[in-house]
Amino acid sequence: MKGLPAHWRLLPQRYNLIGSYCKNCSGRFFPQRSICPDCRRTGSMEEFKFSGKGEIYSYTVIRAPPQGFDYQVPYVIAIVKMDEGPFITTQIVDCNPEDVEIGKRVETVFRKVIADGESGIIRYGYKFRLTD
């Protein structure tokens, strides 16, 4: 699978929130890791699917976007603390930016991330939405 472009290689992680679990220290990590950052080489890693639920730890509202994201303004980028522990940087969708607050509960949703031009590849992946 090494010869495939990154957007194809990362499909399981992007679509299913697949990370890692260390059988030695019980640490959970996202994105997926082959070596435990805590145990180093003594850890034994296995694939772990996250629940997709968490809460907003911090956020910002983007009003001056990078090129190509003008159509989304204003939009929210947040750091979400997953119920299983790891923090994920993500976009909060399907809401009014004024409704977003630290501590609000969120869940993953499957959305378009980016398109490569008019007739290029459309990449999908995880984003989060409010559940409160």
In tens digits, the chain (132 residues) has pLDDT values of 555 555 555 556 666 788 999 999 999 998 888 899 888 877 789 999 999 999 999 999 999 988 877 878 899 999 999 999 999 999 999 999 999 999 999 999 987 666 666 666 766 678 999 997
* Domains parsed from the chain with CATH numbers: 1-49 (no CATH), 51-132 (2.40.50.840)
Q: Is 88 exposed, middle or buried (0-12, 13-18, 19+ CB in 10 A)?
A: buried
Predicted TM-score (pTM) of this structure: 0.80
pLDDT computed for residue 2 by the predictor: 53
Is residue 45 within 8 A of residue 20, CB to CB? The reply is yes
Distance separating alpha carbons of residues 110 and 6, to the nearest angstrom: 18
Give the bridge partners for 114, in sequence order. Answer: 123
Torsion sign, CA atoms 66, 8, 122, 56? negative
